[in-house]
Amino acid sequence: MKVSIIDYGLSNLLSVRRAAEYCGAQVEFVQTPEAVLAAPRLILPGVGAFEDGMNGLAALGLIEPIRQKAAEGTPLLGICLGMQMLFDESDEFGQHQGLGLIPGRVERIPAVDTSGAPQRVPNIGWRALVPAHGSFAGTVLQNVPAGGECYFVHSYEAKPQNEADRLADSPYGGRSICAAALRGSVIGTQFHPEKSGPVGLSILKAFLEL
């Protein structure tokens, strides 16, 4: 299994690499359009601000190659900020355009819960994954056990325009945050599978076997 991790200067590369290698993958970091276009599957990790992430991809000329690979059906996994950049736009520190691979936008997590009480932002910690449509069968989350938890750390949340693109939800403050999204061969996880123990590794392994 070969996987290319996109290195655009704003991501937790080593932990993702170690997790992928643990799952049996041959890993390479890619920074050029040619390398992205040649990849059999891609991981887009990320930490930090949406605008910085998109600027990093643009500076390397990777936006159109990523879009092309997604259109061709190449498996693409966006993690945390990488998931958010899969969407159309974000309002983090202004309005910024994303990759446009999953219709929807990214907005700040509300500062209060559904009862009106203040809640912590960012959302940090282990949260359960709940199937958005009753079951994870046939997806990269198919081996996640009932009540399986993954590790989250984020202040903004992705909101898919189409409910069909929601793969998993996670409860927070009386609401459901989109924990994972799926549209064709494009997958996003708001949580960090590489930091989520056996549950996260099962997700990475399922992705690598696509």
pTM: 0.97
Burial of 107 (0-12, 13-18, 19+ CB in 10 A): middle
**What does the pLDDT look like over 108-148, one tens digit per residue?**
999 999 999 999 999 999 999 999 999 999 999 999 998 89
Cα 97-71-157 angle, rounded to 5 deg:
40
**What does pLDDT average to over the chain?**
97
**pLDDT of 91 above 90:** yes
The domain 2-208 having CATH identifier 3.40.50.880: the answer here is yes
- Determine the average pLDDT of the residues in 171-191: 97
**What does the pLDDT look like over 39-60, one tens digit per residue?**
999 999 999 999 999 999 999 9
Helix (H, G, I), strand (E, B) or coil at 128: strand
**pLDDT of 10 above 90:** no
Cα 24-73-99 angle, rounded to 5 deg:
100
Residue of 80, 92, 96, 157 with catalytic role: 80
Domain boundaries in the chain? 2-208
Whether 89 is catalytic is: no
Q: How far apart are CA 83 and CA 31, in angstroms?
A: 18
Tokens of 109: 């997590």
Whether 34 is catalytic is: no
Whether 150 is catalytic is: no
| C-alpha atoms less than 13 angstroms from C-alpha of 120 in its C-beta half-sphere | 7
Residue of 28, 133, 194, 209 with catalytic role: 194
